[in-house]
Structure 1
Amino acid sequence: MKLTTVKIYIAGMLCLWAFFTSSCTKDLLHREPTTELGTASFWKTEADATYALMGAYADIRPLFDRDYYFDGQGEYIRTRGTSTASGNLQKGDAYNGGDYSPSGYGDNFDKMYEHLYGGVHRANYVIENVRKMLPSVSETSLPQLERVVAEARLLRAMVYFRLISMWGDVPYIDHVIYDNSEVANMTRTPLAQVKDSILADLTYAFDKLPVKAPELGRASKPAALAFRGKVQLYWACWNKFGWPELDTFTPDEGKGNEAYKAAADDFNKVINDYGLTLFRGGEPGECDVLGKADKLPNYYYLFTSVANGDAEMIMSFTHGGTGTNQGEELMRDVAGRSHEGSQCWVSPRYEIADRYQSTITGDFAPKLIPMNPTTAGARTAPNSAVNPQSYANRDYRMKSSIMWDFEVSVGMISLKSTGWVPFIYKTWNQPVTIDGVKYTTYNTDGCNSGYVLRKFLRNTAGLGRSDGTYSYPVMRLADVYLMYAEATNAINGPQADAIALVNRVRHRGNLPPLAGDKTASKEAFFSAIEQERIVELFGEGQRSFDIRRWRAIERVWNPPYGNGVWRIDSYGVQMSRYFQNMSEREYQQCYIFRIPPGERNRNPNLTQNTPWL
Structure 2
Amino acid sequence: MKNIKLLLIAALLVVSCSDLEEEPVGILAPESFFKTIDDLQAAANGSFAYMASEKYWGRKLTLSLLLRGDMADIGDLGTSGRRRDVNNFEMTDDNGMITAFWPQSYAIIGAANQAIAGAERLDGNQEKINEVAAQAYFSRAFTYYHLVRIFGDIPYIDMAVADVSTVDNISKTPEAEVYENIIADLEFAKEMLPDTQPTRSLPSKATAAAYLASVYLTLEEYQKAYDESKYVIDNKGTFNLELESDFQNLFIPDNAGALKEPLFTIDFIGQSRDGDLGQDYLAPLTGIREDETGRSEGGGWTVAVPTLNVYDDWNGRDYRKRVSLDTTAIFNGEVHPFTEFADFSDRGVNRPHIAKYYRYPGVSGSNGRESSHNFITMRYAEVLLIAAESLNEINGGSSEAIGYINQLRERARNRDGEIANFPEDVSAGVSQSELRDIIIRERRLELAFEFKRWYDIKRLKIGEQAFGPNGLEPHPNFDPNRDYLFPLPGDELSRNPNLQPNNPGY
- Whole-angstrom distance in 2 between the partners of 1:515 and 1:427: 37
1:37-436 → structure 2 map (5 Å cutoff): 42-62=33-53, 63-66=56-59, 67-80=62-75, 99-105=85-91, 107=93, 108=95, 109-133=98-122, 136-137=123-124, 139=125, 142-236=126-220, 259-275=221-237, 276-281=240-245, 298-309=246-257, 310-325=259-274, 326=278, 328-336=280-288, 337-338=290-291, 339-341=296-298, 342-357=300-315, 391=316, 394-404=317-327, 407=328, 421-427=335-341
Alpha-carbon distance in structure 1 between the residues aligned to 2:325 and 2:371? 20
Secondary structure of the structure 2 residue equivalent to 1:534: helix
Instruction: Give the Cα separation in 2 of the matches to 1:38 and 1:180.
Output: 12
Question: What is the distance in 2 between the residues matched to 1:175 and 1:462?
Answer: 38
Describe the shift of the 1:211–1:26 C-alpha distance in structure 2 as closer, same or farther (beyond 3 A).
closer
2-structure distance, mates of 1:333, 1:496 = 41
CA apart distance, 1:501: 1.0
Report the counterpart of residue 579 of structure 1 in structure 2: 476
Cα distance in 1 for residues equivalent to 2:76 and 2:116: 36
- Whether the aligned pair in 2 keeps the contact of 1:328 and 1:466 (CA below 8 Å) is yes
Distance, in Å, in 2 between the alignment partners of 1:170 and 1:565 is 34
Distance 2:492 2:264 in 1: 31
The residue number in structure 2 matching 1:251 is none
- The answer to whether the Cα contact below 8 Å between 2:75 and 2:348 also exists between their aligned partners in 1 is no
Q: Quick check: 1:232–1:262 contact (8 Å CA) kept in 2?
A: yes
The alignment partner of 2:156 has SS state of coil
Q: CA deviation at 1:77?
A: 0.7
- After TM superposition, the score normalised by the length of structure 1 is 0.69
Letter of the 2:109 counterpart: V
User: What residue number does 1:513 align with?
Assistant: 424
- Corresponding position: 1:531 with 2:441: yes
Please say if 1:550 is aligned against 2:460: yes
Q: Does the residue aligned with 1:16 lie in a helix, a strand or coil?
A: helix
- Closer/same/farther in 2, CA of residues 492 and 21 from structure 1, 3 Å limit: closer
The SS at the match of 2:86 is: coil
* 1:190-212, Cα deviation, whole Å (9 max, x unpaired): 22211111111101111111101
Greater Rg by CA: 1
In the comparison of the two structures, how many residue pairs are matched?
467
Residue 369 of structure 2: SS of its match in structure 1? Answer: coil
Distance 1:531 1:47 in 2: 45
Deviation at 1:153, TM superposition (A): 0.6
CA-CA distance at 1:125 after TM superposition: 1.0
Q: Helix, strand or coil: the match of 2:198?
A: coil
CA distance in 2, matches of 1:330, 1:60: 14
Question: Which has the larger helix fraction?
Answer: 2
| Residue identity matched to 2:308 | Y
Deviates more, 1:589-598 or 1:227-236: 589-598
SS in 2 for 1:588: coil
Cα distance in structure 1, aligned partners of 2:434 and 2:21: 60
In the superposition, relative to structure 1, how do residues 26 and 330 fare at CA in structure 2: closer, same or farther (>3 Å)?
Answer: closer
| Native 8 Å contact 1:334 1:347 kept in 2 | yes
Alpha carbons of 1:280 and 1:83: their partners in 2 closer, same or farther (altered >3 Å)?
farther
- Distance apart, 1:16 and its partner CA: 1.5
Q: Secondary structure at the match of 1:322?
A: coil
By how many angstroms is 1:588 displaced?
A: 1.6
Q: What displacement does 1:557 show?
A: 2.7
Change beyond 3 A, Cα 1:535–1:170: same
What is the CA deviation profile of residues 298-331 of structure 1, one whole-angstrom value per residue up to 9, with x for unaligned ones? 3222111143131110111111122345253332
RMSD: 3.4
Choose which of 6, 9, 12 in structure 2 pairs with 1:15. 9
Q: Distance in 1 between matches of 2:325 and 2:137?
A: 37
Normalized against structure 2, the TM-score is what? 0.82
Question: Which amino acid is 2:244 matched to?
Answer: R
Unaligned runs of 5+ in 1: 1-12, 87-94, 237-258, 282-297, 358-390, 412-417, 431-442, 559-563, 568-575
- Over 3 Å counting, the alpha-carbon distance change for 1:543 and 1:102 in structure 2 is farther
Q: Which sections of structure 2, spanning at least 5 residues, go unmatched? A: 1-6, 414-421
One-letter code aligned to 1:130: A
CA deviation vs aligned residue, 1:75-120 (integer Å, no higher than 9, x gap): 2212358999x9xxxxxxxx97684315345752233222212221
SS in structure 2 opposite 1:308? helix
Alpha-carbon distance in structure 1 between the residues aligned to 2:391 and 2:129: 37
